[in-house]
Structure 1
Amino acid sequence: MSNQLATKVEGGGRVASGYCTPMEDRIPQKMSVPPKRVLPIIFLPGIMGSNLRMTAERQTLLSYSNNVAWRPDDLSEGTALLRATAADRQLQLDPDTTEVDIYEPGGSTGDRSVTAGRRHTINNVDVHLNVGVNTPLLTDDPVTDGRRHTKEMKARERGWSEIYFDSYHRILELCEESLNTPLAYGHWREILGVNPKVWGASPTPELQPLSFEELKRAVAGCWFPVHAMGYNWLKSNRDSAVEVAGRIRALIKKYSQNYACEKVIIVTHSMGGLVGRALIHPEMGALESEVLGIVHGAMPAIGAPAAYKRMRCGFEEGVLGVSIAAKVLGNYGSEVTAVLGNARGGLELLPSKAYGNGWLEIRKDDTILQRLPAHGDPYAEIYQLRGKWFGLLKEEWLNPAGLADRGFEHTCALLQLAKAFHESINSTYHSRSYGHYSAENARASWSSISWDLDKKYRGNDWQNLNITTDSGQGKFEVRDSGGTTETNVWHVSLGPSIGPGDQTVPLRSAEHQLLSGKFSGVFRQVGYEHQNSYQDPNALKSTLYSLVRIIENMTWCKHA
């Protein structure tokens, strides 16, 4: 029996070299016959979950030693950005001068002493996988293979090093292990035969327990290589979808050289869900026929008021679970606005029209002076207001770097494009979608925003008060437009976060998935913060369950 030493591709075919055991050797030999079908799993991270690099020109302008624009796994880079001014943040995280830091052998890192391979060493730790040597999956090649690749090298080629690895490695590894060696790993023991209600499944649509026979039939004769695809979260999700669609088509073509590969399955987190929906939109990614199904995790389906709050007040202080990466983006409203105020991707996380009216409140004592939007248009009533203390944009925060053609008008133009994007994907969901999100009452999630006006204010023209000083963290002072004395100064402060959710995405937004009536299954869960959702046991179990239910629907061409 021939024992394989190496494989390579010549003329589009697989060629194996090896040696034969002596004829006198009567010991039975085992031969692994690999499946001929491949159904890739593609993971799309959330905002700030993709590593970015900057152009050489921008690196030179900033006098940086390398071209890293965003790499949250690198603590030294994160610490440096934490100390950066708002102007430097704007220059470093500029959608016009950044791109995804994809692993490219021989590619430039902006530092001659650091290779692309070293840059993309995955979090400087091992990928904890061991799925067997007779697969093309993430395992070390035999030492006898002259072109030996380690599992870390293979993971890097799969895009695992272009996303926030510390946050997402668990879901990547779990899918790789569980789908490709289902009989060897114990993850399924806590899933098979279990009522999905245990993981928060909504009674409508009703989900049935997954049986062992169903699992075996679904995964038989197929490989499920797990890939990660980052995207430039500073740019529009529409643009990201077009780019990711191109990468997926190229991936299918590559696998099709040696296997039957007809479709992919998408797994998303947070903003990645918006990219996933744009991915299948006929006027954006136009990839619906190549996508078998989508699993959405913690998606802000119709936006989140937290985006408004953070542009005005920075990321939360002292809140359990708020990631270091988020804090690096800005402790103050001026720091966050300098970045997201110039980024279509960030603006597309604001509540859309579908979020409804009244989520922004102006209060004095227990009296609500006004709720906005009042007429179903948050863009005109909140985001594009000029000179109003309760509006989204503070003009002096928008362009601290003094770049040409940036400022209030530029951001308003981006908001109009965000509005068009929101309306385009509002009802766009894959026909085979599953979703999980937090419905936890104990995790206040900025379902609405309130500004509390000083109870000492006795006037009626509160809308036209002018900000005199602003902490950038939810406290500022206002005075009458004609006021000149201290008696004309009043305090305004941000009210507390309220509403169930995951501390970022409120249930009011996530629930749009269930209310759409388009999902094959929805899991309303508790127990996790937004960024850490894919480290929660129930989120992981519901994801594996959903993947198998999607895989069950795969119909292969007869020749496959």
Structure 2
Amino acid sequence: MQRLTKKCPKPIAIPIVFVPGMMGSRLRRSDNKALIWDTKMAFLLSTWAGSTGVERRKLLFGKSNEFFNSKFLEVDPSSYREFKGNVQFGTIRTKLARGWGGVLWGSYGEFLKWLDSDLQRNLPDFPIDCSNIHFEVWAHPYNWTDSNENAALGITDNDDGPRVNGLTDVVATAFAETTAKYQDVKDIKILKPIVITHSMGGLVARAYSVLGDGQDKVHTVIHGAMPTHGAPVAYKRMRGGFGGATETILGADAAEVTPMLANSPGGLQLLPNQYHKNKEGEKEWLKVTVETEGDIQNLPRSNPYEEIYGLRNSWLRLTNPEYINPLNPDIEGIWLDYIINLDIAQKFHGDLGEQGFHEPTNMFYCASKDQPSYDRIEWKAANVHKMSEKNKQIAKQLLSKRDLPLHDDGNGNLRFLLSQPEDLDKLEYLKDMDHLDRLDHLIQMAEMGSTMNNTEVDTLEVRLQGPNSAGDGTVHTGSGIDLSFPYTITSDSITKGKDEKEVAFSHQDAFTNTEVRKKIAKWISEIIVEETKN
């Protein structure tokens, strides 16, 4: 009833550009145009379900002797035939030209249509039937395996292919075409584009604003569910797999996930960076604990790239080098390639800086306990209470060091061998066994509680703990609450709806949520009020 008393504003046209998140764009090979990534169930089951690490790496990056190439994959923009059932018949070619066909339709299609057709009727500061408010909606799908800097600024012509457009090109096109469409409308005001992002897309838009000309070319940026300075869940997935219903498609263990993320500059840019803080504002997000003993280690103290991700022979490392490119025997070369990609990620975040945002920016995030997320990663020693006092001390010393475990199952379960070298030397028969047989035998002895010649052998079990924070199931609340800048930035938690019931949207489904759409409509409505008040 209140909206009926409000008046329509002066004529205004606003281009909107939507930037999807990680895995939110359809991808194909650049050479033969073979589809590589789409979320249609038949395609996922035939191409990705149950695939090995070797197969996953080949799909995303090519042959085992090939290093990452930014132009190996490109966006699959969809075809008229594929796309025609998604939008009104007379708008198909226009929507395809605006990038709509390149996003994952199941995740973002309804939101794009809402922006295009329903947003105008949901602006709280204006009547429902204002015909002089115009929205023109584009999407910017991109190669999410590549650095977000390239997704923002584009890639120039080179020997690997023609220029790849970035967000900078889409924003320029959106503004130019909107201007051309409405320039003859009397007294109309045409705004610079509003950019709306999901998840990783937020890093793309921030890069455009900080490293490109987005600060001048964009009116406002609205971020949704953005891993502002990375998300600890990325570490968990590379050490323990995805888990849940998605693991069959995205990877059930470290051996399946590592080839996808460790070879990808974009994937590595989702790790907690040098500015990351948890919800308490602490830098340390990786901890080692022992039952009843408290914390043994808390990392990083300063730089996670040096203290965690760049470690090759530490049990706390991000990745096993043998998983990165399984068919390539050149482990030294593989590790060097990985470090190069890691350096790209570190430099990207360093160039953005801790305060690298567009001015102004609005953000929303989920803070639901029903969507548990990783605010920190905890490795916990599980069986110390069963050990002798001597081995308890050995276990704690071992956990404070960086030695590799005896066994890592790729799902977050580690086993270390505890023994005194002088005791093992007494077991003469072990000297005749090869390395693996000797380790297997020692484990069997430990599990049986065996002692021989007063020799004690035991194993230490360390397990990756579950999620420990409110969030959206992927991004924890710390990505939204720890923001304090000397300019206009609004960060709101979508926690309660009109009926005061908790809003619990999952990360991937953020833009299907009614309260999220209301928040976006409110912010855009406020922009229109401000821009048309004189």
Correspondence 1:16-55 to 2 at 5 A: 38-55=13-30
**Partners in 1 of 2:485 and 2:215 — Cα distance?**
22
C-alpha distance 347-516 of structure 1, shift in aligned 2 (>3 A): farther
Q: How does 1:295-374 map to 2 (within 5 A)?
A: 295-317=222-244, 324=246, 327-356=248-277, 357-374=283-300
Cα shift readout 1:64-116 (whole Å, capped 9, x = no counterpart): xx611111135324442123221121121125254332438xxxxxxxxxxx4
2:169 aligned to which of 227, 230, 246: 246
Relative to structure 1, the CA distance from residue 74 to residue 386 in structure 2 (aligned partners, 3 Å threshold; closer, same or farther) is: same
- Match of 2:219, SS? strand
| 1:369 Cα offset (Å) | 4.1
Letter paired with 1:348: Q
Please list, as runs of the form range in 1=range in 2, the aligned pairs for 1:428-467 lying within 5 A after superposition.
428-453=356-381, 454-455=383-384, 456=387, 458=392, 459=394, 460-462=397-399, 463-467=401-405
Q: 1:497 to 1:340 in 2, by over 3 A?
A: same
> How far apart are 1:403 and its partner, in Å?
8.9
Matched, 1:500 2:470: yes
TM-score, scaled relative to structure 1: 0.73
Q: Does 1:279 align with 2:190?
A: no
Which of 375, 379, 395 is the equivalent residue of 2:305? 379
Distance 1:386 1:298, change over 3 A: same
Supply the distance in 2 between the matched residues of 1:232 and 1:342 (Cα, whole angstroms).
14
Matched, 1:91 2:2: no
Which stretch shifts more, 150-159 or 334-343?
A: 150-159
Q: Matched residues in 1 for 2:486 and 2:260: separation?
A: 32
TM-score (norm 2): 0.76
* SS of residue in 2 equivalent to 1:212: coil
Kindly tell me: are residues 445 and 514 of structure 1, through their superposed partners in 2, closer, same or farther at Cα, counting changes over 3 Å? farther
Q: What is the distance in 1 between the residues matched to 2:73 and 2:218?
A: 25
Structure 2 SS opposite 1:40: strand
Counterpart position of 1:233: 144
2: CA distance, partners of 1:40 / 1:406: 46
2: CA distance, partners of 1:547 / 1:348: 29
Code of the residue aligned with 1:333 in structure 2: it is A
1:267 positional shift: 0.6
In structure 1, give the amino acid aligned to 2:521. Answer: L
Shift of 1:374: 4.5
Q: Does 1:543 align with 2:457?
A: no
1:429, 1:518 within 8 Å by CA — same for their partners in 2? no
- Give yes or no for contact 2:13–2:134 (8 Å, CA) kept in 1: yes
Residues 1:424 and 2:347 aligned together: no
8 Å CA contact retained: 1:39, 1:223: yes
Tell me what 2:40 maps to.
73
Inter-CA distance 384–253: structure 2 relative to 1 (3 Å threshold): same
Which residue of the partner structure matches residue 62 of structure 1? none
CA offsets, 1:238-280, max 9 Å, x none? Answer: 1110012123223433444443456211011111111111111
| Aligned residue runs from structure 1 range 506-525, under 5 A | 506-513=476-483, 518-520=488-490, 522-525=492-495
CA shift, 1:519, in A, is 1.3
Structure number with higher helix proportion = 2
Structure 1 vs Structure 2: percent identity of aligned residues?
27
Distance 1:287 1:515 in 2: 18
**Which residue type is aligned with residue 336 of structure 2?**
E
Shift in Å, 1:353: 2.0
Q: Which moved more, 1:353-362 or 1:363-372?
A: 363-372
Which amino acid in the other structure matches residue 478 of structure 2?
Answer: R
Q: Which amino acid aligns with 1:505?
A: V
Q: Which amino acid aligns with 1:121?
A: F
**Cα displacement string for residues 415-459 of structure 1 (whole angstroms, at most 9, x for unaligned residues):** 222122223222122222111111113322110111122414531
Moved more, 363-372 or 264-273: 363-372
Counterpart amino acid of residue 54 in structure 1:
R
Determine if the alignment matches structure 1 residue 223 to structure 2 residue 150: no
Query: CA contact under 8 A between 2:230 and 2:272: conserved in structure 1?
Result: yes
- Taking only aligned residues, the RMSD between alpha carbons, in angstroms, comes to 2.9
Determine the structure 1 residue equivalent to 2:106.
166
Query: Mind listing any 5+ residue stretches in structure 2 that lack a counterpart?
Result: 1-9, 62-67, 154-165, 184-189, 278-282, 425-438, 444-456, 496-502
Structure 1 CA distance, aligned partners of 2:213 and 2:494?
Answer: 29
Query: What is the match of residue 143 of structure 1?
Result: none
Map of 1:400 onto structure 2: 326
Contact 2:474 2:507 in 1 (8 A): yes
- 1:124-139 equivalences under 5 Å are 125-127=85-87, 139=88
Residues 103/355 of structure 1: CA separation in 2 closer, same or farther (3 Å cut): closer
- 1:388 is matched by which residue type in structure 2? S
